[in-house]
Structures are given as C-alpha cells and as structure tokens.
Amino acid sequence: METVTRKRAILIAMMFVALASGVLFKLYSIQIIRSEDFRIRAQDQQNKTTTEIGQRGSIYDRNGHELALNIEHHKLYVYPSRVEDIEDTARKLSPIMGLEAGEIARRIRKAGRRKVIATTLSSVQADQIRSSGVIGRGSPAFELEKLSRRSYPGGSLAAHVVGYAGWDSERQVGREGVELKLDEILQGEPITRFEARDALGKGFVLQTNPQEDPHQDVYLTIDAVLQHIVERELKQVVREQRAEAASAVLMEPATGKILAMANWPTANLESYSKYRSNSKRNRTVVDRYEPGSTFKIFTAAALLDQGLVQPGQRYYCENGDYQVRNQTFRDHKKFGTLSFREVLEHSSNIGTIKASAALDGDRFMEYVKALGFGRKTGVLLPGETNGRLPVMKTAPEVHKASLSIGYGIGVTPLQLTTAVAAVANQGILVPPTLVEGSRTPDGDWHGRPATKPRRVIKAETARTLTNLLEGVVLRGTGRAARVPGYRIAGKTGTTRKYVEGAGYDSPGGKQYFASFAGFGPVRDPQLALLVVVDNPRNKSIYGGEIAAPAFSRIMSDAFRHLRIPPDQESMVMLAPGPAGATPAAFPGGEAGQ
C-alpha cells in the first residue's frame, strides 16, 4: 500500500513538474522567442493607421462665387450583434437622423454582420451620434465613415469650363475641363493618421502626418454673371433659329482674361453622365470652322500694315462675278466700284480678293500665324485643337483668294476672339488666360504665370482698322450689333459649312455658320466678343441677322454689369437698325458676310 501511495505521489509530482515546465516554456516563448511578434500584434490591436483622401479644392469665379466644391457627408454602419438595447438606441438616434425610432430599429434588425443604415449624414449629425454614446467602447456597435461628393452649385453654369470630377477606385479625379487640367493641384496628397485605443477601447489620434502638397482652391477669370448672360443668349438664339449649336467667347483685350466661354447645348454637372457627348463638347476650343467674312478683319490688317491699301482706295467688283485662274468667286450683290471702306462695310468678296492680290502669299501667312492661327492658344482646357492652315504651294493665287475671305482655313472660336482682341488692343495680342491663380488652405496665393504679349500689327494699323470696322456696324452688314450709347466695331460672317463626307453640299441641304466678331467701346475697348451660330434653320442664315443681335444684347448687359460708362460722342447710334445685307457667294454657293 505504501508503495502504491509513493508511486502516485511521484506521478503527481512529475505531472506538476511537466505542467510547470510547459508554463515556463510558454512564458519563455512569449517573452523571449516570440516577444516581437506579440508586441506587433498588440500594437495592431491598440494602434491603427488610416489614410484619408485629401479634400479636393473648390473652383471659384473671379469674384469668389463657388462653381465647384466638396460637400462632406458620412455613412453610418451598424454591427447588430453588438447593440445591447435596440429600442433604446433607436430612440437616441431618432432626433439626430430625422427618422422614426421604429424605422431605425427595423434597419438595425434587418442588417447582417455589418450594414449601412444611413448614407448622407452631415458632419453635425455625425458629431451628435458620437456624443450620444450609442457607438460604444471596445468593439463599437456603430461606425462612421467620412466621405465627400463633388457639388456644382451652378448646375450647367460654365459647365464646359469647370468640367467634371468623378470617383475612381479610391479618389475623385478630374474628367473634363479645369477639373481635369488642374487635377493635381485641386486634389493634393492623402492624409495619414496614427490612432491608438486606451484600455476602455476609446480611440484618440497619436499623430497626423501633414500633407506635403495640400489641395488648392482654383480661381478662374470667368465672371459668373457674364457667363450667365452669354449662356442665356446662346440658348435663346439656338431655340429661335432652330440651330444645331452656338458658341461664344467674351474676353478682356488688354489682359487676355476670358470673362465668359459658353456653348449651347450644354450639360448640368450635377447629372453629367446622363448627357450625350454633343452637350459636353467645348466647341470654343475643340471645334474648328471656316470663319468666312469675319476673317476679312485680318486680311485688312495685313494689307493696311504693309501699306498696300488705303480706306479710300477703289476696286471694281466686276458686277458680282470674278475668276481667279479657273475658280469663280461671287458677291451677294452686283457691286460696281467700291472703296476699300465700302468693301468691308458691304462684305464684298471680290473687292477683298482684288485688294489682297497686292499682298505676297508668304507674307500673308506670316500675319495669319502671328495672329495665333494654326496653333493652340495654350489655355488651360483639355482637347484644344491647333486649327488648320491652308497649303499655299498648289494654286497659290486661288488659295490666297480663298484665304482672304475666310475659306480654306480652320480656326477655333477662341483663336478668332483672341485675334480680334489684338486689334482692339492697339495691335498687341495677349494670349488668353482662364485661371487667375490658386490658394492653399493656409491662405498662400499662387498666381498663374503672366502670359507674354506680342505685337502683331502696328498701333496705327489697329486704329485705322477699328475705324473701318466701326463703319461696318454704323452703315454696313453689322447694324444689328449696335449697342445704344456705345461705339462698336466688328464684322459679320455667313459661312458655308463644310460637312465631313459631304463637303459644302450635305444631303440635308446647305448648312451655314452665322457669326459676328467685334469689340467696344471703341474709345477704350474693354470687351471683345465672338458669337457663332451653327446651322441656323429658321428664316435666316445671315450673321448680320442672327449673331449680331445676340452680340448686341450680350454687350449691352455686359457694359451695364461692369459699369462701363457710355460714350458721349454725338455720332453714337442710339438704337439698333436693320441687319441690312445678304451673304456673299463662294464657289458652289453663298458665302459669308
């Protein structure tokens, strides 16, 4: 018996020794062998590193009106198994969320392991939920996720300029317009936060790594009021004339700042994806067209600058028909002899072609290029085209004749407005600019580099040409562009539209561009404006009857908005008159005044 007892004692002792050895080995393993592994696991449980997408910068007009901004909102997730008292929790959340307690309780019960029960909570609501005590400690019953969405307060206002930002897998990215072109400075860098939890599970931030390159707010040269005026008039002219589209650019000649840039049709940025590409296209920089008779401004500029013509110099206009080599050019009316001033006022193709015969073709092209045609303006918008220059090597006389009246060349509305602004600015071309600058969250201002002006024609040439273009508005085809109380200079255009695959004679009938380009007040030009209407299909097709009245209304409202005082000269026409003329003819059909 004694032997059995001793054996049992030995066995029990051995078991205690083995157990103690196991415990000691486990402690040794935890504290010595795997100490680093457990330290890391403990840190992972107590500490948390999160990366938050940086706030995207806002976009403002020149006066600080918001055109694009981020609206912060929160999602509320629930872990139903962790909610101790669903009814009590629902009662606490009800006044915060603006929902019946029963509905909140239903959502909690319906949820699985983790589910969203609210998606658009404001920051105030999120703070109230945190303060209510419902989230819990340790393993929280609720979780808030901060998000943001892009908002465009103006809807379609300046849509083609502002553009659109959408989400990729992780962040908002610019898709169109300034949102795309300046995406890097609008976006900034992500924010990294290091968080810890105490013994009760309450979280607190240990450290936040500052953004090396924080987002910046962008300020445009666009004036929201002027933008609205221009868009309103484009919408009206498209509807009244049953036109395919219309575009306009309003610019300060002395600075190159674009005050309004618009197209119709357009798209509401709040529901951008629903619109077709036709409504999203910024025609002012993406589309090129043959400018027709508005280009006679630059033919006249080259002739005057070279001393090859005088306003009173007379040209026989062949009673409406004229041949250059084997190409026939026509006028809208049988003109006899006209002075160069009258050639512009009546928009005679033949008179312009005859005057341009004195200008060397290569020299002519130098002026065309100097005025900015055939290359991008450099404006901060995606998709800008170079336009297209004519090839003068084959049949140079015919090509020069066509170019002199605005055919055989492709220009964008922005290029043409910029060149017209150079005439208004005493012959100095200032490249167009759309962005004033950007501002960091700390208030640091970063202005955009100033564009470099360049002289393209002599100041005297610009003054003489301005006088001739004022005559177009006072006595010629541009009478409907007159603005009561102000002296205006400009030129009409009615251009046969070249349709890809069909030429100038499309199956549905001839199509036209009706346009007017001008500036004012003549005494001190503050604004330059181009209005182009694509394929008007009502009673008229003429720039003097379609685009010129829209030009007049836009300029009148713009002068009033900018408080530009009226002229005092007695020669100012106080009321707009009839449009006057019909379009000139181009080989194969009518062409533009």
| Residues ≥6 apart with Cβ < 8 Å to 186 | 56, 57, 59, 165, 174, 179, 215, 216, 218
Phi, psi of 63 (to 5 degrees): -105, 10
CB contact at 8 A, 151 and 268: no
> Tokens 């002519």 appear where?
364
Identify whether residues 201 and 301 lie together within a single domain: no
Does a structural domain hold residue 7? no
Parallel, antiparallel or unpaired: strands 454-455 and 428-429 = antiparallel
For residues 65-80, average pLDDT:
91
Q: Tell which residue, 457, 358, 344, has the closest CA to residue 401.
A: 358
Better-predicted residue by pLDDT, 113 or 250: 250
Q: CA 285, CA 105: separation in Å to the nearest integer?
A: 55
Is the model's pLDDT at 585 over the cut of 50? no
If you count them, how many residues does the chain have?
593
**Residues of the chain with pLDDT > 90: what percent?**
65
Does a structural domain hold residue 23? no
Does a structural domain hold residue 14? no
pLDDT of residue 255: 97
Identify whether residues 463 and 531 lie together within a single domain: yes
Q: Tell which residue, 248, 313, 305, has the closest CA to residue 282.
A: 248
Q: Tell which residue, 536, 583, 529, 581, has the closest CA to residue 553.
A: 529
Lowest-pLDDT choice from 110-114, 288-292, 466-470: 110-114
For residues 422-426, average pLDDT:
99
Banded pLDDT at 569 (limits 50, 70, 90): low
Banded pLDDT at 499 (limits 50, 70, 90): confident
Identify whether residues 432 and 298 lie together within a single domain: yes
For residues 260-278, average pLDDT:
95
Does a structural domain hold residue 22? no
Q: CA 435, CA 182: separation in Å to the nearest integer?
A: 10
Identify whether residues 149 and 178 lie together within a single domain: yes
Q: What is the CATH number of the domain that holds 134?
A: 3.90.1310.10
pLDDT of residue 69: 95
Lowest-pLDDT choice from 21-25, 121-125, 257-261, 327-331: 21-25
For residues 103-128, average pLDDT:
87
Identify whether residues 394 and 502 lie together within a single domain: yes
Does a structural domain hold residue 166? yes
Is the model's pLDDT at 8 over the cut of 60? yes
Identify whether residues 237 and 205 lie together within a single domain: no
Identify whether residues 230 and 215 lie together within a single domain: no
Helix (H) or strand (E) segment spanning residue 208: strand 203-209
Give the distance, in angstroms, between the CA of residue 573 and the centroid of all CA atoms in the same chain. Answer: 36
Identify whether residues 210 and 248 lie together within a single domain: no
Tens of pLDDT, residues 341-375: 999 999 999 999 999 999 999 999 999 999 999 99
Count of CB atoms situated within 10 Å of the CB of 164? 21
Average pLDDT of the chain to the nearest whole number: 87
pLDDT of residue 588: 34
Q: Which of 220, 248, 276 is the last residue of a domain?
A: 220
Is the model's pLDDT at 101 over the cut of 80? yes
Please list, residue by residue across 109-148, b when 16 or more beta carbons sit within 10 angstroms of its beta carbon and e when fewer do: eebeeeeebbeebeeebbebbeeeebbeeeebbbebeeee
Does a structural domain hold residue 29? no
Does a structural domain hold residue 377? yes
Is the model's pLDDT at 7 over the cut of 70? no
Identify whether residues 273 and 182 lie together within a single domain: no
Q: Tell which residue, 179, 155, 372, 161, has the closest CA to residue 260.
A: 161
Q: What Rg do the C-alpha atoms of the chain give, in angstroms?
A: 36
Identify whether residues 207 and 229 lie together within a single domain: no
**How many contiguous H segments (helices) and E segments (strands) does the chain have?**
19, 25
Provide the angle, in degrees to the nearest 10, between the axes of the packed helices 224-241 and 543-562.
160
Lowest-pLDDT choice from 49-58, 111-120, 277-286: 49-58
**Residues of the chain with pLDDT > 70: what percent?**
82
pLDDT of residue 378: 96
pLDDT of residue 32: 66
For residues 275-292, average pLDDT:
96
Phi, psi of 331 (to 5 degrees): -105, 160
Does a structural domain hold residue 201? yes
Q: CA 467, CA 173: separation in Å to the nearest integer?
A: 49
For residues 418-436, average pLDDT:
99
Identify whether residues 517 and 565 lie together within a single domain: yes
Identify whether residues 550 and 475 lie together within a single domain: yes
Is the model's pLDDT at 237 over the cut of 50? yes
Q: Which of 173, 194, 220 is the last residue of a domain?
A: 220
Q: What is the CATH number of the domain that holds 488?
A: 3.40.710.10
**Tally of domains in the chain:** 2
CB contact at 8 A, 165 and 174: yes
Q: Which of 220, 246, 276 is the last residue of a domain?
A: 220
Structural domain span for residue 202: 50-220
Better-predicted residue by pLDDT, 126 or 436: 436
Is the model's pLDDT at 579 over the cut of 50? no
Better-predicted residue by pLDDT, 499 or 542: 542
Q: CA 323, CA 328: separation in Å to the nearest integer?
A: 4
**Concatenated DSSP letters of 510-542:** --EEEEEEEEE-TTS--EEEEEEEE---SS---
